[in-house]
Amino acid sequence: MSSYLIFAYGGVGLCGIGVFGFILHTHLLRRLIAFNLLGSGTFLILVGLSQSGRGEADYIPQALVLTGIVVAVAATALALVLIRRWAALTQHATLPEDQGPS
């Protein structure tokens, strides 16, 4: 098993944990973290898996991941802005439907 593939499996693990966390958590910040984990896992799979298929560095997926990271950061930043604004307005860090009966 090449190291590429190992990291691809690692990516799989990250994805799984990310999905688990994303579903489990209602706190928005944690969801965001889970999303980032998912993203990282995906990137790992993308690069690791395609490189394990060829057995050498493949620049295309790497370039894609670079783009992906930037996009993810942009999304994260945007989400944070929204979350903060939401928290400021409502004093909550969860969405209304997840706040339980109140």
Q: Answer yes or no whether residue 102 interacts with other proteins by CB under 8 A.
A: no
- The nearest distance, CB 96 to other proteins, in angstroms, is 6
Question: 63 is written with which tokens?
Answer: 């370039």
Q: Answer yes or no whether residue 3 interacts with other proteins by CB under 8 A.
A: yes
- The nearest distance, CB 46 to other proteins, in angstroms, is 4
- The nearest distance, CB 88 to other proteins, in angstroms, is 5
| Residue found by looking up tokens 């593939």 in the block | 5
Measured CA distances, 59 to 19, 24, 28, 51 (Å): 28, 35, 34, 9
| Residues from 23 through 82 that contact other proteins (CB under 8 A) | 23-40, 42-54, 56-82
Contacts of 88 by beta carbon, 8 Å cutoff, 6+ apart: none
Instruction: Region of 58 please: left (phi>0), alpha (psi -120 to 50) or beta.
Output: beta
Q: Answer yes or no whether residue 91 interacts with other proteins by CB under 8 A.
A: yes
| Residues from 7 through 26 that contact other proteins (CB under 8 A) | 7-10, 12-26
Q: Answer yes or no whether residue 88 interacts with other proteins by CB under 8 A.
A: yes
